[in-house]
């Protein structure tokens, strides 16, 4: 994999499809979104891109504010991320984690030494009274990102997993410490009732020519974004919205999306994903192995667009990004509102 994938020159077919002045918004969370974005910024202008990141998995570790989804996007697109591991910084060292362990602190959520500096810096900025949106913008600028990265909200939201054995786990406890093993009873977004869209979020969606829902977990990565007051309605009213299915052949490309979809009563398939987004999207980009599901997706009023969605390397990430832009062009061509 190419660690510097996000820094490739622009141009070519994707830029023509996107249009030099077309404004793109991507709803993003987790590794799938970071990989997709690495392809997108290689084929479309970064200056026209806004990424709205999930903050429902933000977590306090060793007294520090950690924003896993925002950091995964930032590190990956700055060419600093560890693509093999899927999180953290490439070439990381672990001296601080070893010392925390000697001191008797929990180390199930590991922070590398350079990663730790990010969280110390972020926490200090927040303690000075700066909102998360401002802190995220400063971090993105210092990492040299060419697109706009916006947290979904400045208010704290915590994704909690309630398990069948009676536990109430933060999403990071469920994912990392418990390795996704407990059976899920339900999932809650604590604090979502007080959350307002972060600065610039509504405006970005309203001004976008295309909103893309990244191949992220629909429940815990995209779900919190759409649950922020008014954002689902804003996305539904956007000029054009396309989603990429993170479910291929009935399995999640990465993570516990299958179990989480089932906890909502949704089918763990491209059809289930289309059903969750049916009020929002015109097209669903889905893997070609699921071709037999295309009629069911179409029956939901969603246009299926089949391609290879497996992002095994940078070339594959770029092909998927181009497929999304192609699906957008096709949707515009057949849209009765634009005919």
Pairing state of beta strands 64-66 and 59-61?
antiparallel
Output the pLDDT for position 260. 84
Would residue 339 count as lying in a domain? no
Output the pLDDT for position 3. 36
The domain that contains 205 carries what CATH number?
3.40.50.10680
339 residues of the chain, pLDDT tens digit each? 333 443 333 333 344 344 556 899 999 998 999 999 999 999 999 999 999 999 999 999 999 999 999 999 999 999 998 887 877 889 999 999 999 999 999 889 989 999 999 999 999 999 999 999 999 999 999 999 999 999 999 999 999 999 999 999 999 999 999 999 999 999 999 999 999 999 999 999 999 999 999 999 999 999 999 999 999 999 999 999 999 999 998 777 777 788 888 877 888 899 999 999 999 999 999 999 999 999 999 999 999 999 999 999 999 999 999 999 999 986 554 443 333
Would residue 169 count as lying in a domain? yes
Give the Cα separation of 96 and 106 in Å (integer). 12
Would residue 29 count as lying in a domain? yes
Output the pLDDT for position 12. 38
Q: Vertex 271, ends 270 and 277: CA angle to 5°?
A: 90
Output the pLDDT for position 19. 52
Output the pLDDT for position 331. 59
- What separation in angstroms does the CA of 201 have from each of 42, 211, 294? 23, 12, 32
Asked if 236 and 263 count as a contact pair (C-beta separation under 8 A), the reply is no
Task: Count other C-beta atoms under 10 Å from residue 182's C-beta.
Answer: 18
Would residue 263 count as lying in a domain? yes
Would residue 179 count as lying in a domain? yes
Q: Measured between alpha carbons, how far apart are the two ends of the chain, in Å?
A: 41
Give the Cα separation of 286 and 273 in Å (integer). 10
Output the pLDDT for position 81. 86
Output the pLDDT for position 7. 38
Would residue 266 count as lying in a domain? yes
Tokens at residue 146, please?
């060419």
What's the domain count of the chain?
1
Domain extent for 254: 5-334
Pairing state of beta strands 158-163 and 184-190?
antiparallel
Contacts of 185 (CB under 8 A, 6+ apart): 162, 163, 164, 263
């Amino acid at each position: 994999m190419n660690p510097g994938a996000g820094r490739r020159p622009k141009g070519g077919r994707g830029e023509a499809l996107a249009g030099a002045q077309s404004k793109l918004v991507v709803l993003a969370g987790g590794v799938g979104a970071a990989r997709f974005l690495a392809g997108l910024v290689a084929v479309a202008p970064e200056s026209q891109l806004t990424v709205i990141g999930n903050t429902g998995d933000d977590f306090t570790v060793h007294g520090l504010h950690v924003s896993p989804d925002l950091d995964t996007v930032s590190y990956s697109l700055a060419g600093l991320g560890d693509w093999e591991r899927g999180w953290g910084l490439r070439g990381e060292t672990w001296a601080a984690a070893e010392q925390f362990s000697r001191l008797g602190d929990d180390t199930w959520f590991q922070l590398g030494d350079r990663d730790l500096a990010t969280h110390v810096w972020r926490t200090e900025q927040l303690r000075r009274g700066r909102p998360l949106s401002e802190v995220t913008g400063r971090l993105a600028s210092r990492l040299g990102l060419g697109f706009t990265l916006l947290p979904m909200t400045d208010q704290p939201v915590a994704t909690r997993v309630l398990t069948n054995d009676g536990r109430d786990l933060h999403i990071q406890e469920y994912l990392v410490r418990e390795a996704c093993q407990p059976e899920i009873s339900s999932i809650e977004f604590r604090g979502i009732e007080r959350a307002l869209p972060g600065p610039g979020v509504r405006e970005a969606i309203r001004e976008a020519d295309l909103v893309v829902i990244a191949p992220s977990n629909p429940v815990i990565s995209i779900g919190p974004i759409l649950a922020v007051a008014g954002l689902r309605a804003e996305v539904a009213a956007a000029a054009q919205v396309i989603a990429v299915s993170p479910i291929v052949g009935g399995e999640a490309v990465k993570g516990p999306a299958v179990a989480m979809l089932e906890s909502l009563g949704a089918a763990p398939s491209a059809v289930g994903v289309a059903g969750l987004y049916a009020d929002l999207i015109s097209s669903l980009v889905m893997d070609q192995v699921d071709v037999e599901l295309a009629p069911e997706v179409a029956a939901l009023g969603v246009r299926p667009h089949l391609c290879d969605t497996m992002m095994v390397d940078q070339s594959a990430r770029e092909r998927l990004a181009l497929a999304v832009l192609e699906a957008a062009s096709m949707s515009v061509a057949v849209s009765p509102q634009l005919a």
